[in-house]
Amino acid sequence: MHQAYQISSYAQYQEARQKSVENPELFWSEIASHFQWKRKWDTVLDWNFQEPSVKWFEGGKLNISENCLDRHLETRGNEPALLWEANDPKEPGRVLSYNELHFKVCQFAHVLHANGVRKGDRVCIYIGMVPELAIALLACARIGAIHSVIFGGFSARAIADRLEDASATFIITADGAFRGAKDFPLKAIIDDALEANNTVQKVIVLERTKTPVSMIAGRDVWWEDEISKVVAAGNPDFPALEMDSEDPLFILYTSGSTGKPKGVVHSTAGYMIWANYTFLNVFQYKAGQVHFCTADIGWITGHSYIVYGPLSAGACSLMFEGIPTWPDAGRFWEICEKHSVNILYTAPTAIRSLMAFDTKPLEGKNLSSLQVLGSVGEPINEEAWHWYSREVGKDLCPLVDTWWQTETGGIMISNLAGITPSRPAWATLPLPGVQVCVVNEQGKELEGEASGNLCIKFPWPGMLRSTWGDHARCRQTYFSAYPDLYFTGDGCIRDAEGNYRITGRVDDVLNVSGHRIGTAELENAINAHSGVVESAVVGYPHDIKGQGIYAYVIYNGNHSDEEDRVRKDISMTVSKLIGAIARPDKIQFVPGLPKTRSGKIMRRILRKIAEGYTSNLGDTSTLLDPTLVDVLKEGAL
């Protein structure tokens, strides 16, 4: 395993960082040479950020599923690739060796092909955390189809929007999914999503929960039946298709500060190299270790650190179907003990929710296999950092605080476990190959110790290439705020040594339990309720979720005397249009919203009130109606 490009000392880190800036092409071509290519690239990098146009390893041909599977078969074919732990601890788990995973991916690639899926087709995947999800991803990649996974918490309407945006022609789903004490009727939700759809041709349905489902002739087929046909045909191999380096590998929808979610497009070669390089270096993975990333594959973290990063590195990746608190709050620790987990990668919101149960669930659990802890998704507060390090890591494990985004494909700023120092609540240093800068509001680059907006000034292989179907939106969202820079949307602080602390979004994007939710999208959903006149949504500090959703609503419907009933109806409307994950935590009914004379909502004031401030709200003199502020304060929840 110990790859030539796995940094193993602080001196090597510094060397790599210098080389990556001085000669990025040499730096990246050396790393790329460790992968399996069907044809070597002609040029390492061609780019401009105005367009933007970013091309890595052009002329190169490869297939990522071959790099994740075939190339390991000779050396570690019988070693575990995927360990799977079911939602219910009483249900036996599963182990898939590299040989078995390869076999199953080839089988399912045949299923896709037999059902008409071809290179470049968009395949939507809406399925729970079962090994078949990873198999589906890799089989899509093997035949060159573009996968688009949708998290199980999104509603039929949200799915319908994404299907339409991507003009998806295929869906892979299951009868249902288990999560904690609940099961979710995935296929029924897909049926609703397909009501007004006219692009989807086939739906492949996996049996998981045995929930009754409708199976529409000509459209819906069972995963298991289709596999039987491949078995009957003698299980032929499925040679991986030759893809161009820049062919899209997947689309993943994410929310921004305006409009509908956008489909972030990732490339084949650049993404693969980024997922692999960051996995090996940040977690310092060593052969034989068990890596447990607790994220859902519906998010980028699962794509990069359950599937593509670990498998491309020949690692053993543990996948868990359930949630940290069911059947009890000891579930994670039980899994760590049972599978002798070495690397645990989870989210601050999970840590905080477990902290609330104190250390009792940890008692009697043997966590001595743990060597590295990781955090991702939002700023980790110092209290949670220390609890995680002390109670879980027994003060023996380096803790990596990894900052990155759906758009970056993989980790960008983080300490490297045991190689570069960790510091509570600081993501610390950029990885070699990441050229970060801090700018002020005017776009001026700040030197040395600074506080401002976080930007990136040079391409990295894993960066997004476009937003699906709307390249102008990609330019507008990420490359127009500051010329020649990629703007992250995050604010940060940098100390004199060049360490970064991420302070959170500076745009109108909320981060609720590590889930990204756009306020504009949320307001649209709230406003869709027949009695709502107008609304404004802001985030407020929440002990477990990091940020909670606070909605100010002008309501003019019936039943206005039954406020709680109306709140529930508004929540239900949001659930229908986006999904349960976007339901507001607090809804305050207001007679008006604080607007400037030009009609702009002053969110700064709304944020302060939601945070519980009653004074020091800042300048309110530009408000159209300054007296409104007192009314809002009085009604604050």
**Which C-beta is closer to ligand WT7: that of 300 or that of 315?**
300
**Which C-beta is closer to ligand WT7: that of 361 or that of 379?**
379
Dig out the tokens for 534 from the structure.
Answer: 């107008």
CB of 122 closer than 8 Å to CB of 166: yes
CA distance 119 to 104: 19
**Which C-beta is closer to ligand WT7: that of 273 or that of 412?**
412
Residue with tokens 């800036």, as numbered in its chain: 21
Residue 160 beta carbon to ligand WT7: minimum distance, rounded to whole angstroms: 21
Interface residue with ligand WT7, options 406, 428, 466, 571 (CB under 6 A): 406
Dig out the tokens for 501 from the structure.
Answer: 């602390």
DSSP 430: B
Using CB under 6 A as the binding rule, whether residue 401 contacts ligand WT7 is answered as yes
Determine if residue 378 is left, alpha or beta; phi over 0 gives left, psi from -120 to 50 gives alpha, anything else beta: beta
Q: Could you give the C-alpha distances from 125 to 111, 250, 397, 501, in angstroms and in order?
A: 15, 11, 36, 35
Interface residue with ligand WT7, options 376, 574, 629, 632 (CB under 6 A): 376
Using CB under 6 A as the binding rule, whether residue 144 contacts ligand WT7 is answered as no
Nearest 10 degrees: Cα torsion 208, 211, 217, 221: 0
**Which C-beta is closer to ligand WT7: that of 128 or that of 514?**
514
**Which C-beta is closer to ligand WT7: that of 406 or that of 535?**
406
Dig out the tokens for 312 from the structure.
Answer: 């491309």
Helix/strand/coil for 287: coil
Using CB under 6 A as the binding rule, whether residue 254 contacts ligand WT7 is answered as yes
Of 288-347, binders to ligand WT7 (CB under 6 A) are 299-301
Residue 581 beta carbon to ligand WT7: minimum distance, rounded to whole angstroms: 12
Interface residue with ligand WT7, options 246, 490, 508, 521 (CB under 6 A): 490
Interface residue with ligand WT7, options 5, 320, 403, 426 (CB under 6 A): 403
**Which C-beta is closer to ligand WT7: that of 204 or that of 297?**
297
CA distance 27 to 24: 5
Using CB under 6 A as the binding rule, whether residue 161 contacts ligand WT7 is answered as no
Using CB under 6 A as the binding rule, whether residue 571 contacts ligand WT7 is answered as no
**Which C-beta is closer to ligand WT7: that of 256 or that of 330?**
256
Interface residue with ligand WT7, options 63, 245, 405, 453 (CB under 6 A): 405
Give the binding range for ligand WT7 (CB under 6 A) out of 19-27, 401-409, 458-466, 476-484.
401-409
Residue 394 beta carbon to ligand WT7: minimum distance, rounded to whole angstroms: 22
Using CB under 6 A as the binding rule, whether residue 427 contacts ligand WT7 is answered as yes
Mask 492-521, x = binds ligand WT7 (CB under 6 A)? ----------x-xx-----x--x-x-----
Which residues, 6 or more positions from 15, have their beta carbon under 8 angstroms from its beta carbon?
Answer: none
Helix/strand/coil for 424: coil
The CA-CA-CA angle for residues 174, 176, 179, to 5°, reads 125
Helices marked H in 236-374 — which ranges? 269-282, 300-302, 309-312, 331-338, 348-355
Determine if residue 235 is left, alpha or beta; phi over 0 gives left, psi from -120 to 50 gives alpha, anything else beta: left
Helices marked H in 23-80 — which ranges? 24-32, 64-65, 71-76
- How many residues at the interface with ligand WT7, by CB under 6 A? 24
Dig out the tokens for 512 from the structure.
Answer: 């609720």
Whether the bond into 541 is cis, omega within 30 of 0: no
CB of 207 closer than 8 Å to CB of 174: yes
Using CB under 6 A as the binding rule, whether residue 581 contacts ligand WT7 is answered as no
Interface residue with ligand WT7, options 66, 378, 508, 523 (CB under 6 A): 378
Binding residues vs ligand WT7 (CB under 6 A): 254, 299-301, 376-379, 401-406, 427, 488-490, 502, 504-505, 511, 514, 516
